[in-house]
Amino acid sequence: MIHFEDVTRTFGNRTAVERLNLSVGKGELVALLGHNGAGKTTSIKMLVGLLQPSFGQVKVGPYVVSESMREASRLIGYVPDQPFLYDKLSAREFLEFVGELYGLTASEVRTAVQREVERFQLGEFMDRLTESYSHGMRQRTVFAAALIHEPEVLVVDEPMVGLDPQCIRLVKDFLRAYADNGKTVLMSTHTLGIAEEIADRVAVMNSSRLVFEGTVAQLRERVPGVLGTLESLYLALTDVSVFDGNSNGDFRSHSESPVLEP
Ligand SMILES: Nc1ncnc2c1ncn2[C@@H]1O[C@H](COP(=O)(O)OP(=O)(O)OP(=O)(O)O)[C@@H](O)[C@H]1O
């Protein structure tokens, strides 16, 4: 459903993403991991059409994002790392506004808003201006807005930052359930435990390149001698010394990663 095909993005003489190949299929939740500056947000912005690749292409379903932005965006829900809300609107007004932007009819908007209010437990603060919301309330509202058109693909940049444990549980359960319902989820995160808990596969970026893609079990096989949590594996994988003796530093699990059709 999501296909990065040899995607490179440069900013001047800086390469933010280099020759990224990554696919995420229907019913899959993939966690994108990497240090600060590894290239995760740039990749996500190319996926949702906010940036154009310098080379290569990103496809969502049958659409090349940079060529068919309108069609692709109907398939995508996006929760950015720095969510934006209109302070002078309530959550209800904001969700209605977003629903109209997606071309839903008035009755479809009503049904969708009700569905999201229940899913993200927005009831109590639904009609207050969003300027008075806590971070968790804002994040739940942003999730609801991203889902108003029931997208096939959900793209989430750092979903758990600053949330309390109850809210983290709500978001984790929701993301897993969304994938289990046949949708496609790509989530960038620094919270390795959450990736290990809910992702089908992890994709690790280091210095603009994808250095591993596969399950955590496959990662354990690829980084011999490192046992235990995803955190210890991740730290070993993104440590430069690990690349010694590996000609291209590429730990991708080519053989076992399924190639899923849109
Ligand atoms: N608009 C821009 N102009 C110039 N350089 C940029 C721009 N956006 C990103 N970069 C650079 O591209 C590289 C990748 O940045 P990106 O934000 O994709 O990393 P990230 O993995 O999302 O990091 P973080 O975890 O800190 O959010 C960094 O070196 C960053 O400075």
- The ligand 1 atom at the shortest distance from the C-alpha of residue 41 is 22
What is residue 64's predicted lDDT score, i.e. its pLDDT? 97
Q: How far is the CA of 14 from the centre of ligand 1 (A)?
A: 10
- The ligand 1 atom at the shortest distance from the C-alpha of residue 45 is 18
Which of 18, 42, 186 has most ligand 1 atoms within 8 Å of its beta carbon, as the pocket-test mutant?
42
pLDDT tens string 42-88: 999 999 999 999 999 999 999 999 999 989 999 999 998 777 888 89
Structure tokens at 39: 């290239």
What is residue 226's predicted lDDT score, i.e. its pLDDT? 59
Please work out whether the CB of residue 34 comes within 6 Å of at least one atom of ligand 1: yes
Which of 41, 81, 208 has most ligand 1 atoms within 8 Å of its beta carbon, as the pocket-test mutant?
41
What is residue 240's predicted lDDT score, i.e. its pLDDT? 47
Q: How far is the CA of 37 from the centre of ligand 1 (A)?
A: 5
Residue with tokens 């808990």: 197
Please work out whether the CB of residue 258 comes within 6 Å of at least one atom of ligand 1: no
- Closest residue (by CA) to atom 24 of ligand 1? 36
What is residue 166's predicted lDDT score, i.e. its pLDDT? 84
What is residue 47's predicted lDDT score, i.e. its pLDDT? 97
Asked if 142 and 79 count as a contact pair (C-beta separation under 8 A), the reply is yes
What is residue 225's predicted lDDT score, i.e. its pLDDT? 63
Structure tokens at 194: 């959450």
Please work out whether the CB of residue 25 comes within 6 Å of at least one atom of ligand 1: no
Closest CA to 157 of 185, 196, 119: 185
Please work out whether the CB of residue 22 comes within 6 Å of at least one atom of ligand 1: no
**Superfamily per CATH, domain 2-81+154-243:** P-loop containing nucleotide triphosphate hydrolases (3.40.50.300)
- The ligand 1 atom at the shortest distance from the C-alpha of residue 34 is 21
- Closest residue (by CA) to atom 1 of ligand 1? 11
Please work out whether the CB of residue 82 comes within 6 Å of at least one atom of ligand 1: no
Q: What are phi and psi of 95, to 5 degrees?
A: -65, -40
Is 3 exposed, middle or buried (CB count within 10 Å of its CB: 0-12, 13-18, 19+)? buried
Q: How far is the CA of 41 from the centre of ligand 1 (A)?
A: 7
Please work out whether the CB of residue 141 comes within 6 Å of at least one atom of ligand 1: no
State the DSSP string of 129-152. Answer: BGGG--HHHHHHHHHHHHTTT--S
List, for the chain, all residue ranges whose pLDDT scores fall below the cut of 70: 223-228, 239-262
